[in-house]
Amino acid sequence: MPALFPELKNPTPRQIAVASAAYTTVGFGLTWLLIWLWQQESPSWPLTGITMLLVFGWSYFVFVNFLKRYIYRKIKLIYKTIHKHKMSPAQKQSAINIDTPIIEEVEKEVAQWADEQAREIAELKKWQEYRRRYIGDVSHELKTPIFNIQGYLETLLDGGLEDPAINRDFLSRAAKNVERLLTIVEDLEAISRLESGEMILDMQVFDIRTLVEEVFDEMEMKARQRNIRLMFKEGASQHFQVRADRESIRQVLINLISNSIKYGKEGGHTKVALYDMESLVLVEVADDGIGIPPEHINHVFDRFYRVDKSRSRERGGSGLGLSIVKHIIEAHHQTINVRSSVGMGSTFGFTLAKA
């Protein structure tokens, strides 16, 4: 713009209307003056002033209303695209504030909308890949015991039922695979309830050391089969009162201690340590077994993820235990982590709120 009207950065509709009306009025005034001079008459300055004021007022009124209508129609089209809800009558009436830099605001909203769309698309792609992998994993995990059961039953139906050397053995194997199927289905149901929020935690105050001792008693026979000792770490075995869902934390401890027995060193030990962290209690379950390679550490809590697939299946389990553990701890708004070294063992640690 000329120096008379310096360039406005991010002008508001009112500023545009005022500048446009001023241009129009100046143009009209110059034209009016030229007419008087051409007629060789002295201009009537009072009349000229009043006329120019009227021209300015009328021009301003026309420009501001034109801008409001024009901008509103354009912005409405943009908002129809980026907003998922209809504008109320009140919003329509106040849709254009002529004292704000509307275009700049719309640019910001469109940029924000574009960022949100990009994030949503990325999230949807991630969930699509997750669902694809998850369905494949579930199918694979269910297929193995189903095929085993099918094979045992077909053998029995083909005459093996009358053979005392194999009938009881094959029925026993089929029963074990049915148990594995039930374990997978129950664990899937547990994860589904945790993720959907249907599992309501029964928060209560209890002694975490006492609960660990109860789990030790439950797991004693399983540990004895591999000659593994269950114990507390020296200097980290105090009694702490925590606030949590006792049965859910029992399940967490059973899963972690069971894994430490499965993958621990035969003739070794599983140690549980309890540490005071002011408002929290840190519970650690450590073994001296095979450990977890570094490339697998970030995936151990994924569903059906197995570091050594063949050995894991041989030792039973659904492949969902650590995933359930993670969901339970997160439902308590706490954290769980793992550190491990190959050949030296693994340590799983989670926090609980101190009562």
Measured on CA atoms in the order 97, 103, 104, 105, is the torsion positive or negative? positive
Could you give the CA distance from residue 260 to residue 291 in angstroms, rounded to a whole number? 10
CA trace torsion 22, 26, 31, 36 (10° rounding): 120
Comparing CA positions, the residue from 121, 110, 99, 120 lying closest to residue 77 is 110
Assign 108 to helix, strand or coil.
helix
The pLDDT score that the predictor gives to residue 228 is 94
Stretch(es) of the chain classified as CATH 1.10.287.130: 130-196
The pLDDT score that the predictor gives to residue 3 is 42
Comparing CA positions, the residue from 258, 253, 224, 263 lying closest to residue 349 is 253
Which amino acid appears at position 301 of this protein? F
Q: Is the pTM of this model over 0.85?
A: no
Residue whose tokens read 């009328």: 58
Contact 21, 59 (CB under 8 A): yes
The pLDDT score that the predictor gives to residue 102 is 63
Stretch(es) of the chain classified as CATH 3.30.565.10: 203-354
Series of mean pLDDT values for 10-residue runs along the chain (355 residues): 50 73 76 70 69 78 71 65 55 54 69 81 77 70 83 85 83 86 78 72 94 94 93 93 94 92 91 94 93 85 64 56 88 92 91 94
The pLDDT score that the predictor gives to residue 96 is 56
Residue whose tokens read 């420009």: 63
**For the domain 203-354, what is the CATH superfamily, name and number?**
Histidine kinase-like ATPase, C-terminal domain (3.30.565.10)
104: which 2 tokens? 């700049």
The pLDDT score that the predictor gives to residue 4 is 43
Cα→Cα distances 193→133, 189, 206, Å:
20, 6, 24
The pLDDT score that the predictor gives to residue 268 is 93
Cα→Cα distances 143→146, 169, 320, 346, Å:
5, 21, 16, 30
Could you give the CA distance from residue 265 to residue 290 in angstroms, rounded to a whole number? 7
Contact 102, 12 (CB under 8 A): yes
**Cβ atoms within 10 A of the Cβ of 186, count?**
13
Q: What is the CATH number of domain 130-196?
A: 1.10.287.130
The pLDDT score that the predictor gives to residue 9 is 62
The pLDDT score that the predictor gives to residue 77 is 64
Could you give the CA distance from residue 226 to residue 68 in angstroms, rounded to a whole number? 81
DSSP alpha helices (H): ranges in the chain? 13-38, 45-82, 89-93, 102-157, 167-196, 208-225, 246-263, 309-314, 321-331
**Cβ atoms within 10 A of the Cβ of 158, count?**
8
DSSP 231: E
